[in-house]
Chain A
Amino acid sequence: MILFWQNPLYQRELLDRLRSGKTLAAILAVAIISSGLVLLRWPSDNTVDVISQGAMLVFRPLAFALTLAVMMLVPAFPATSLVAERKKGTLTLLLNSPTTPWKIYLGKLLSNVTLSFILISVSMPALAACFAMGGVSVKDHLGPLAIVLVVMAVQYSAIGLWISVRSASSDASLRWTYAAVLALTVLSLGPIVLTGDIAGVYATVARWMTASSPMSALFQITGYEAVAASIGIRTGWFEFCILNAIVTAALAIVTVRKLDPVLLDRARPTGKVVGVTTKKSILRRIAYLVDPNSRKSGIPFWLNPIMVKEFRTRKFGRLHWLIRLVAICAIISLMLTVLAAVGATGWGVDKIAGPMVLMQVALMLLVGPSLGANLIASEVESGGWQILRSTPISPIRVMIGKVMSVVWTMLLVLLATIPGYAVMSFIQPAMSGQVGNVIISLLVAVAMVVSISACVSSFARATAAATASAYGTLLTIFAGTLLVWLARGRPFGPIFIERVLTFNPAAAALSEMNSPGFELYNLTPAAWWVGGGISLGCMLILSVRLWRMTKPD
């Protein structure tokens, strides 16, 4: 039996990553952010803080910043790892060598975990400073935080590898991995937050779902148990570790089972010969409303061909899928309406609105960057851009077609939750103005997500890089500004916090709904102008980029 560091795959993967400039940049970024946070919040009044408030004020944003860093940086590599090996043909070579699938898997997983460990380690001096200030203990704070971060790193690596072994392309794998991470972090809190304490099986399931989110662990470690309990979260870091260890072990088993040459031998989809009169075609029409195997009519003159192409080339962009998605959105919408009605009458509109806004923004961040980042980079990567350049279509038409294909999808996601707000306005008519402002803020969020992702996409040559960059940029804007908000009190005053939050339309929506912690800030309409300005700026940059990309070299 060889030790894991003697595994040649582990050594190769780790060395490759350590030699990369991107890894160095990531390590430096974590080091600078963590030490910067400590420096900014270091007490300057020469008094010993016996009730530990000072240390906790430093520790809290640091803990959330490290969690965000792990969320952003850890999944990227494993998400592309196995799919890239398969595309290059090196996976076949590995599987034909005496190396066992477990060795391949562990080599990849542990190299990523080691690197994550290095990333987390660079924040040690900052965490030690919190300890030195007094009031932050190893047993209750630093130890659990380190364990939670390592468990997150292992789990995200396992998720990345699991998705990677099943995906057809690096960008699709990256997209689904980030979506899974976001879903685990935010959407897993949804059921308990929206329904509160309901006894029975459902409550148990909802409770364990919250345990899968690192937020539940962080609330406990950073002393926000009361806040967590107020929205129904009663699990802590221990449950988080137990649940995720089980999930990670299960993912490892299914991933290793997939690492088999026979299972990798997939038939290429060849398409089916269409028939409009057969029994099967009639059944298909009943099942899908739009027969997926029928020959499609041409793109009509009144539709932008680029937009139609974007929809058609997406896995879920085909009409029969869109109909299903609309149906799912309608069901979710109805459920949310019921929940909003129950919640608003039971707990009050202000309490139900905050989680709803957060869920919506999480959903937008889950869907938007993956679609937006694909727009230009995938076209360049596939060689389609070269062909489009040799056609007479104008850059502005290309831009409109591509951007609108994402805008329509995002609006569909947004529309699913609108009836919930209508119910709130009905129950508390005085709030209809605020509800309107929330919807405007969410529309601004949509504009920002689409325009920033598309803009990032126009600068990347590979879709995977574009997707990772888009997620990184948007998470920085939407979650990073909330980190600054978490550090309110010291050193950041309310004016500074308000200015930072104007960059986040989700914060504007939360302040409109007087969600706890946001009541003090008056973010509208400034946040709309800022968000609109950023979106406009990004669209301008995108149009200039596209214009330049279509011009002769």
Chain B
Amino acid sequence: MTSSDEIVVQTENLTKRYGEFTALEDLSIHVKRGEILGFIGPNGAGKTTTIKVLVGLSKPTSGRATIAGVDCSQQSGKIKHLVGYMPDRFGSYDNMRVREYLDFFAAVFGIYGKKRTQRIEEVLEVTNSGYMQDKFVESLSHGMQQRVGIARTLLHDPQVLILDEPANGLDPKARIEMREILLRLATEGKTLIVTSHILPELARICDTVAIITGGKLKAFGELDEVMRQLCPVRSYEVELVDSQDLERAADLIGETIERDKVTLSPQEYVLRFPTSNTEEELAAVLQKLVQSEISVTQFREVAGDLEDAFLSVAAG
């Protein structure tokens, strides 16, 4: 992903209240150009409210949101040209083919003539949807509809794409395709804000994450940093060639980490241990194992994924 230092999306103390209910409280985040922000939270956390403020469909009670320097609530007309928004509902029309669907939205955005034809071809290509251009929109599978939805958001070539639950309900193959499309868009310089419940999915594509619960921001920052903050104890796994070396290896690791915490799995030729040690200290452990002529095939961190981080935040 090619991100720059230029901040494109920014919210400052964004608050939204519906009567006495506070949907969003003091949300301050920023996204740089070309970055993918994963916006994570349980149902009713305030994700869609934030998105609606960003796309100019809702006015904040207080605070400010800007996209490329344009105020989202004061200049919502300009925002519509800057943002491509895909809501969680597809919004299909009966008796319309995919190409006609895109043609209609291109006309709504004021794209006419050859430029429109060219643009439709481009977005169909980017989203790998060219083969379905003559199919009726309502007959498409959910995964296909999501791709058409992304194609629609790209028609007016927006700087920022805001996608509400794009991977929701997709099968594994469709999810992989969706991931590839989003990464390609980020590579082309688009800034993306993506909400999802499928947290491991986001971990694979996001540069930064924002975790929100009950309308409040619980964690925000680069993915690795957030995970380190939220999961200070990481899990490591060491795989050996010979299971007979397991005990000896556990003793050597026990010199750096508490021996009791090292667990052995003879069937897998693996031993595991939790650690909060630095990378250098762990490198020294590996070196010790090698010097002791223990044949190591793998020495790796078991990824503490977003799911763990999210659950730890949700648990309070």
Contacts and interface: CB of A to CB of B under 8 A. Distances in A.
Interface of A: 168, 268-274, 295-296, 298-301, 305-306, 308-309, 312-315, 317-318, 382-393, 552-553
Most chain A beta-carbon neighbours within 10 Å: one of B55, B87, B91, B112: B91
Contacts of B110: 392
Given A305-B104, A390-B85, A392-B110, A271 B91 contact: no
Given A389-B57, A390-B56, A391-B80, A308 B138 contact: no
A245 B94 CA distance: 36
A340 B138 CA distance: 45
Interface string B22-58: 0000000000000000000000000000001001111
Contact of B95 (A306, A308, A312, A387): A312
Contacts of B113: 301
Interface string B114-153: 0011000000000000000011101100000000000010
A269 B81 CA distance: 34
B96 interface: yes
6 contacts: A271-B135, A298-B117, A308-B107, A309-B104, A382-B89, A384-B91
B159 to A, nearest CB: 15
Nearest to B107: A305
Nearest to A309: B104
A298 B116 CA distance: 8
A307 to B, nearest CB: 11
B57 A392 contact: no
B134 A273 contact: yes
B237 interface: no
A325 to B, nearest CB: 15
A271 B112 CA distance: 25
Nearest to A316: B95
A269 to B, nearest CB: 5
Contact of A271 (B58, B107, B108, B139): B139
A269 B134 contact: no
Contact of A301 (B91, B97, B112, B135): B112
Contacts of B90: 383
Nearest to B141: A268
Given A309-B104, A389-B57, A268 B96 contact: no
B76 interface: yes
Nearest to A394: B77
Nearest to A306: B108
A268 B57 contact: no
Interface string B69-108: 0000100110011010101011111111101100111111
A271 B56 contact: no
Contact of A392 (B103, B109, B136): B109
A387 B107 contact: no
B269 to A, nearest CB: 49
B93 A269 contact: no
Given A308-B104, A389-B57, 8 more contacts: A268-B139, A296-B100, A314-B95, A383-B89, A386-B89, A387-B91, A390-B80, A391-B105
A308 B109 CA distance: 15
A362 to B, nearest CB: 27
A391 B108 contact: yes
Contact of B138 (A268, A312, A392): A268
